[in-house]
Amino acid sequence: SRKLLMIPGPIEFKNEVLQSMAIPTPSHIDPDFIAVFANSLKLLKDICQCPSGQGFIVAGTGTLAMDMAAANLVEVGDKVLVVSTGYFGLRYAEILKRYGADVDILESEVGHIVPIDDVEKQLKSNNYKILAFTHVDTSTAVLNDARSIGALGKKYKVLTILDGVCSVAGEEIKQEEWGIDVVVTASQKAVGVPPGLALLVASPNAIKTFENRKSPVSNYYSDWTNWLPIMQAYENRQASYFGTPPVNLIIALEKSLDLILKEGLEHRFDRHKRAGKAMREAIKALGLELLTKNAETVANTLTAPLYPKNMDAKAFLQVVGDNGIVLAGGLLPELKDNYFRIGHMGSINKTDLLATVGAIETALKRNGYQHELGIGTAQVIKHF
Ligand code: PMP
**Distance (Å) from CA 304 to ligand 1 centroid:** 16
> CB of 84 closer than 6 A to ligand 1?
no
> CB of 134 closer than 6 A to ligand 1?
yes
CB burial of 206-223 (b: ≥16 within 10 Å; e: otherwise) equals bbebbeeeeeebeeeebb
> CB of 165 closer than 6 A to ligand 1?
yes
For residue 63, which atom of ligand 1 is closest to its CA?
16
| Cα(97)–Cα(78) distance, integer angstroms | 10
Closest CA to 54 of 221, 187, 234: 234
For residue 188, which atom of ligand 1 is closest to its CA?
15
Q: Is 66:95 a contact under the CB 8 Å cutoff? A: yes
Binding-site positions for substrate read 341
pLDDT in the model for residue 1: 79
**Distance (Å) from CA 328 to ligand 1 centroid:** 14
> CB of 138 closer than 6 A to ligand 1?
yes
Instruction: Give the H/E segment covering residue 280.
Output: helix 265-285
Single-letter code of the amino acid located at 331: L
Q: Is 197:250 a contact under the CB 8 Å cutoff? A: yes
Mean pLDDT by 10 residues, the chain (384 residues): 95 98 98 98 98 98 98 98 98 98 98 98 97 98 98 98 98 98 98 98 98 98 98 98 98 98 98 98 98 95 97 97 98 96 97 98 97 97 97
> CB of 63 closer than 6 A to ligand 1?
yes
Q: Ligand 1 pocket test: which of 85, 138, 144 has the largest number of ligand atoms within 8 Å of its C-beta?
A: 138
Domain boundaries, given as residue ranges, for the chain: 4-8+264-383, 15-262
Count of beta carbons in the 10 Å neighbourhood of residue 371: 15
> CB of 187 closer than 6 A to ligand 1?
no
- Residue closest by Cα to atom 2 of ligand 1: 165
> CB of 65 closer than 6 A to ligand 1?
no
Which class is domain 4-8+264-383? alpha beta
Which class is domain 15-262? alpha beta
**Distance (Å) from CA 137 to ligand 1 centroid:** 9
In order of 152, 153, 233, 374, the CA distances from 120 in angstroms are 7, 9, 40, 46
| Cα(319)–Cα(362) distance, integer angstroms | 8
For residue 198, which atom of ligand 1 is closest to its CA?
15
**Distance (Å) from CA 197 to ligand 1 centroid:** 12
Q: Is 367:262 a contact under the CB 8 Å cutoff? A: no
Single-letter code of the amino acid located at 150: G
| Cα(134)–Cα(22) distance, integer angstroms | 33
N- to C-terminal Cα separation, the chain:
27
3-state secondary structure of 215: coil
3-state secondary structure of 9: coil
Under DSSP, the state recorded for 349 is: -
Q: Ligand 1 pocket test: which of 64, 144, 166, 341 has the largest number of ligand atoms within 8 Å of its C-beta?
A: 166
> CB of 10 closer than 6 A to ligand 1?
no
**Distance (Å) from CA 324 to ligand 1 centroid:** 25
Under DSSP, the state recorded for 338 is: G
> CB of 68 closer than 6 A to ligand 1?
no
| Cα(221)–Cα(94) distance, integer angstroms | 18
| Cα(249)–Cα(188) distance, integer angstroms | 11
Q: Is 367:311 a contact under the CB 8 Å cutoff? A: yes
Angle at 211 between CA 207 and CA 213, to 5 degrees: 120
**Distance (Å) from CA 165 to ligand 1 centroid:** 5
pLDDT in the model for residue 243: 97
**Distance (Å) from CA 121 to ligand 1 centroid:** 28
